[in-house]
Amino acid sequence: MGIYTKLADDIDEVDIIIAGGGTAGCIIAGRLAENDPSLCILVIEGGANNKDVASIVHPVFYLQNLLPTTKTALFYKGNKSKQLADREPIVPSGGTLGGGSSINFMMYTRAQRSDFDSWKTPGWSADEMWPFLKKLETYHGPGEKEHHGYDGPVHVSDGGYRAKTAEDDFIRAAGQVGFPEVKDLQNLEDNNGIQRWQRYVSPEGKRQDTAHTYIHPKLEDGQHSNLHVLVESKVVRVLFDENKRATGVEYTPNPEFQATIGLSMHPIKAVRARKLVIVTCGACGTPPVLERSGLGDKKILERAGVPLVEELPGVGKDYQDHHLVLYPYKTSLEPDQTIDGVLSGRVDAAEMVKNKDKMLGWNAIDVSSKLRPTEDEVTSLGPEFKAAWDRDFKYAPNRPLVLCGLVSCFLGDPASIPAGQYVTAGNYTAYPYSRGHMHITGPKHDDALDFDVGFFNDTNDIDLKKQIWAYKKHREILRRTNFYRGELAAGHPKFPSGSAVAVVENVDAPLSDVQDLVYSKEDDAAIEQWLRENVNTTWHSLGTCKMAPREDDGVVDKDLNVYGVSGLKIADLSIPPENVGGNTNNTALVIGEKAADIILMELRGCQPTTSKL
């Protein structure tokens, strides 16, 4: 039992290996450990132990996890892309025990009912997922009781702090633009409105990552001698026997954490699994592990010099994300209504911790939304957009087009702006048409990756047009707030000189009698250029090893078994075959719960453990 940076020499075989101790991985480990004391379980996580790390447990410090010097995130570098104005986008991802749930923005956002149904996989419909959605949470928020869980490990609350002025103001302004307040947009049904958002934060103000909620208590209670966690160790590949049964994994100490003194310090080690290997390295991390193991597209493996074990062309294909664009605004808010003071160092972080400051439990995101355009707005976006809308959204009222959240701070380098209180609006598209890929280029764990994020590469620029709509719409909301004091020009489109919609840098008082801005063709072109130069990841990578029929490039079946081999499952955000209309942490959590249930059923002899080959 315990958490190690080096595995004891006598642990060379366990029952179950969980490769990747992230959001879903920690849930699976925790549930297996508590339900079957006879199982010997080993989690192998590339990042470090996250126990009581200040930037993780105190929500208000969450942005520290994205600093270039951080050791809690992984930074996947995307290929240079024409449709992104020749940028090489970076996709940060969880790189510590607890994975994304340890470093994310903690917005409690569930997928929509139609999302699970769109997966068209027996056992995974919305109705079948309800018990797992409830099982994972203890909900302290608004809405109908029947839609939430009340005795799960993950507390969902507002963490004991809200900045009501901005929240009320934004909700009132959004109402004027046509979006009503909805009590609970996380009930799988409701859509097209604004909500007072909840967070993965306990009422006492502590982040609810899956390591602190599912793993650490068990490592410390003296009752789970079956649970072992190896951190700072990268899984290189899965090992197979001659019958293509997964027999274990190879791993290596992570040089990010463990000093290299000559090659011998970083040996490739092996550990065997008697029953099962589960790969759960996230949508960016899982395809490289599979491909290094010989599972993937024949040509890609050949190019990388990896012998083929099973041809699975779907591995690493069809990468998806939600596309995010951020817009900063000046405000009249007070210092306790944004976290700019904390980010700029004007507020002493150590003092906050010492004084158990209430703001420690705040992620500064009190309000967000799931939004759809009107039919007139759809028409104004052109015939191609209208055709896509009519096909995929018009008769699917459960699907949002865009989510727009308000972050109460400047989400950038505080040194680049005058001291003050800011807000940043974030627009992200829910069901992008664009697709990318994630592949290896060589057999070693540190060989470069061939990563195409695919943002804005869809036919007819439908994804880009969604963002144009979102830009105009959110700007109208912000212009109607009382706290609005202008736009930070560096974070907005560069409209042509003389444009009637030019960025307004300073106003002394709220705008009065606000009318919708009317954009010319040239203005639209400026927005488009801005979007190409600035669209980024929402850190919602997904869909790179789909749960789908094998002939449709599926990689796993409904029980998460990898096709063509046995003793190997995948359980993380690689598996959703279709995207979801919300931030993705909840979907990763519920995949973890569902996976644990599938595995426990199989171990009890209730279900087959191998896929149809």
Ligand X SMILES: Cc1cc2nc3c(=O)[nH]c(=O)nc-3n(C[C@H](O)[C@H](O)[C@H](O)COP(=O)(O)OP(=O)(O)OC[C@H]3O[C@@H](n4cnc5c(N)ncnc54)[C@H](O)[C@@H]3O)c2cc1C
Contacting positions for ligand X (CB under 6 A):
19-24, 44-47, 66, 74, 92-95, 99-101, 103-107, 109, 234-235, 280-283, 285, 289, 539-540, 572-573, 583-586, 588
In the structure encoding, which two tokens stand for residue 363, read together? 């992620």
Determine the Cα angle at 130 with ends 560 and 24, to 5°. Answer: 40
Determine the Cα angle at 153 with ends 151 and 159, to 5°. Answer: 95
Torsion of CA 536, 541, 545, 547, to 10 degrees: -120
Q: Give me the amino acid identity at 31.
A: R
Q: Give me the amino acid identity at 116.
A: F
Contact status, residue 1 vs residue 263, Cβ threshold 8 Å:
no
CA distances in angstroms from 449 to 49, 108, 285, 290, listed in the order given: 25, 31, 10, 13
Separation between Cα atoms, residue 311 and residue 404, nearest integer Å? 40
Nearer to ligand X by Cβ, of 64 and 104: the residue is 104
In the structure encoding, which two tokens stand for residue 478, read together? 């912000």
Find out whether 53 is annotated in a ligand binding site. no
In the structure encoding, which two tokens stand for residue 182, read together? 């909805």
Give the nearest distance from C-beta 395 to ligand X in angstroms.
27
Give the nearest distance from C-beta 237 to ligand X in angstroms.
9
Find out whether 539 is annotated in a ligand binding site. yes
Nearer to ligand X by Cβ, of 22 and 328: the residue is 22
Separation between Cα atoms, residue 141 and residue 144, nearest integer Å? 10
Give the nearest distance from C-beta 273 to ligand X in angstroms.
15
Nearer to ligand X by Cβ, of 96 and 398: the residue is 96
CB neighbour list of residue 383: distance below 8 Å, 6 or more residues apart: none
Give the nearest distance from C-beta 407 to ligand X in angstroms.
10
Nearest-CB residue for ligand X: 22
CB neighbour list of residue 106: distance below 8 Å, 6 or more residues apart: 59, 62, 199, 200, 201, 207, 208, 363, 365
Nearer to ligand X by Cβ, of 46 and 491: the residue is 46
Q: Of the candidates 247, 195, 318, which has an alpha carbon nearest to the alpha carbon of residue 582?
A: 195
Give the nearest distance from C-beta 253 to ligand X in angstroms.
11
Q: What distance, in Å, lies between the first and last C-alpha atoms of the chain?
A: 36
- What are the E-state strand segments in 455-532? 484-487
Residue 439 is among the residues annotated as catalytic for this protein: no
Contact status, residue 446 vs residue 292, Cβ threshold 8 Å:
no
Q: Give me the amino acid identity at 37.
A: P
Q: What is the DSSP string of 410-467?
A: --S-GGGS-SS-EEEEEEEESS----BEEEESSSSTTSPEEEE--TT-SGGGHHHHHH
Q: Which of 155, 322, 492, 540 is catalytic?
A: 540
Nearer to ligand X by Cβ, of 318 and 461: the residue is 318
Give the nearest distance from C-beta 381 to ligand X in angstroms.
28
Go through the chain and tell me how many residues it has.
613
DSSP state of 80: P
In the structure encoding, which two tokens stand for residue 378, read together? 């759809």
Nearer to ligand X by Cβ, of 114 and 586: the residue is 586
- What are the E-state strand segments in 484-552? 484-487, 536-537
Find out whether 229 is annotated in a ligand binding site. no
Give the nearest distance from C-beta 211 to ligand X in angstroms.
9
DSSP state of 358: G
Nearer to ligand X by Cβ, of 561 and 585: the residue is 585
Nearer to ligand X by Cβ, of 73 and 177: the residue is 73
In the structure encoding, which two tokens stand for residue 131, read together? 């018990």
Three-state SS for 347? coil
Residue corresponding to tokens 């109607």: 480
Give the nearest distance from C-beta 281 to ligand X in angstroms.
4
Per the annotation, binding residues are 235, 539-540
Please list the active-site residues. Answer: 540
Per the annotation, binding residues for FAD are 235, 539-540
